[in-house]
Amino acid sequence: MTEDARIGDVLGWTFQDGVYELTLDQAPCNEIGARMLEALEGFLDSITPNLDSAHALIIRSALRSGFCAGADLRALYRGLQEAESASGRRQLAQFIDRIHAVMDRLDTLPLVTVGVINGICFGGGLELALTCDILIAEKSARFAFPELRLGIVPGFGGIPRLKREVGNAVVRDLLLTGRSVNARKAQAVGLVSQLVPVGEGLTAARALAKQAAKFDPTARVAAKRFIKPLPRAELHEEKRLFLELASRPTLMEALKRFVESEDVRPYLP
């Protein structure tokens, strides 16, 4: 069975030979706001009834700028500005609940999930990547959790998921400095499984997906559940902490600085 579909103008997906390929395609760098969230929910709703006929999912970006630059900070700033503060906080809490649900669904899919990372993979983009079972990074990839400069912590489940993958010293380094690391470093610390030349990520991911098809589906799903449990308690705690920090004026002040910045590197910690 072969299928392909497009949701809005933010992403597209195909299904062929048991492999779903989800391609993020929203310039400038697949920022996650209301439209991307809705499209991801739509994608998951579409594939859920047919998961028995699939064995792998590849998530990648169509954009040279990168995999995903994280939350749409400009939209967040506008939203919080327009809304009354109590209503703005309520909307933010609803958004966080929905994005957590999407990340949890991706994380626990009964498929081998492969993230192909190129260019920028910052903040919410890294949180999305961390839902994948295996990451393949092109040499252009760069990873960061810059949230502390906004006076918040990652809010899409990134901290527990990063802790699940790498040592706590790496988590602290990324989180407490906000610095970015290249693909080679990401592979050295165990975040990335394969490092490939620019433009070769999808080919490597397809070869991996083909390999995954060779295994018994029941064993594959059981193995994934066993080795990649969802850190539910920590995810809940991260959400609470994020919303508590986000309710302070510090976030709006930092968002204003970011939105108004003329620095070519506004993400610098």
Site of interaction with other proteins (CB under 8 A)? 28-29, 65-66, 69, 119-120, 139-142, 144, 177-185, 264-269
Report the number of secondary-structure helices (H) and strands (E) in the chain.
11, 11
C-alpha triplet 103, 106, 109: angle, nearest 5°: 145
Task: Please identify, using beta-carbon distances, which residue of 10 and 195 lies nearer to other proteins.
Answer: 195
Distances (CA, A) of 216 to 213, 221, 222: 8, 9, 10
- 33 Cβ contact partners less than 8 Å away, ≥ 6 residues apart: 71, 72, 75, 76
Which tokens in the block code for residue 240?
Answer: 């609470």
Strands 120-122 and 112-117: unpaired
Q: How far is the CB of 95 from other proteins (least distance, A)?
A: 24
* Closer CB to other proteins, 142 or 224, in the complex: 142
CB of 265 to other proteins, least distance (A): 5
β-sheet with 112-117: strand ranges across: 3-7, 11-16, 19-24, 56-61, 112-117, 134-138, 194-196
- Comparing CB distances to other proteins, the nearer of 90 and 184 is 184
**For other proteins, which is the closer residue by CB, 120 or 246?**
120
Closest approach of Cβ 264 to other proteins, in Å?
Answer: 4
The least distance separating other proteins from the CB of residue 133, rounded to whole angstroms, comes to 25
Q: How many CB atoms lie within 10 A of CB 231?
A: 17
Rounded distance between C-alpha atoms, residue 231 and residue 229, angstroms = 6
Nearest distance, CB of residue 190 and other proteins, angstroms: 16
Closer to other proteins at the Cβ: 112 or 255? Answer: 255
Nearer Cβ to other proteins, position 69 or 159?
Answer: 69
* Minimum CB–partner distance for residue 15 and other proteins (Å): 30
Number of other CB atoms surrounding residue 27 within 10 Å: 11
